[in-house]
A = this chain, B = another copy of it.
């Protein structure tokens, strides 16, 4: 496939992302070596194996941890612009994996070591930390929710959060968006059984809040859904994209 240079990248221009100066952009371009296309359900990072740093350029992916008993927990969904593998790059032992959910394209960031970014572009490092804090805030929300809300509330929360993240990168359409998660992904993300995911979805549909079908999520009544799920939209501010 044709490699898209950072200068011409359509994703990078979205208002969600910090717009680099010329020298910063040139530097980021040198971080990147190639791009790589992947099938749905393919491994980007395998737990305990080869490390790698990537930017998700197109498609959906998810970060997960698996237990000896075969159970797994989805920690996070990854959308275009998200960085993949920073934890694996900086720490010795990591226990998470990353898989594609849909067909996806990643930019491979092995052109030069990340150290140089800290030395030569402190503003980028600062933005990176800011982006990490946004991710931490999101994780805080998940943690708070897993412990304290019902299955249907958790579902609604996840829907709203993903919708808003898509919206920020121009991938939503007013009241609906693509939503390629299957039942088992929802179950693994929300700590539920597949059967109960189903019941919760039925609840949300019957209550006229949201429906899910054909890989499309429709928010039927956003205001009431927010209220029901205890979700509050947050002003994210700029993120970094490498």
Contact = CB atoms under 8 A, between A and B. Distances in A.
Contact of A137 (B68, B94, B115): B94
Report the contact-size class of chain A (Cβ under 8 Å from the partner): 35 or more
A103 interface: no
A158 to B, nearest CB: 12
Interface stretch (A51-59, A117-125, A212-220): A117-125
Interface of A: 65, 67-68, 71, 73, 75, 86-87, 90-96, 115, 118-119, 122-123, 125-126, 128-130, 132-137, 139-144, 146-148, 190-191, 230, 234-235, 237
A125 B118 CA distance: 7
Please report whether the interface of chain A is mostly helix, strand, loop or mixed according to DSSP.
helix
Please state the number of chain copies in the assembly. 2
A143 B141 CA distance: 11
19 contacts: A67-B230, A71-B148, A75-B143, A75-B144, A86-B129, A86-B133, A91-B134, A91-B137, A93-B234, A94-B137, A118-B118, A118-B123, A125-B125, A125-B129, A132-B132, A139-B143, A142-B143, A143-B146, A146-B146
Nearest to A87: B133
Contact of A125 (B122, B141, B142, B147): B122
Contact of A140 (B65, B118, B130): B65
Contacts of A136: 87, 132, 135-136, 139
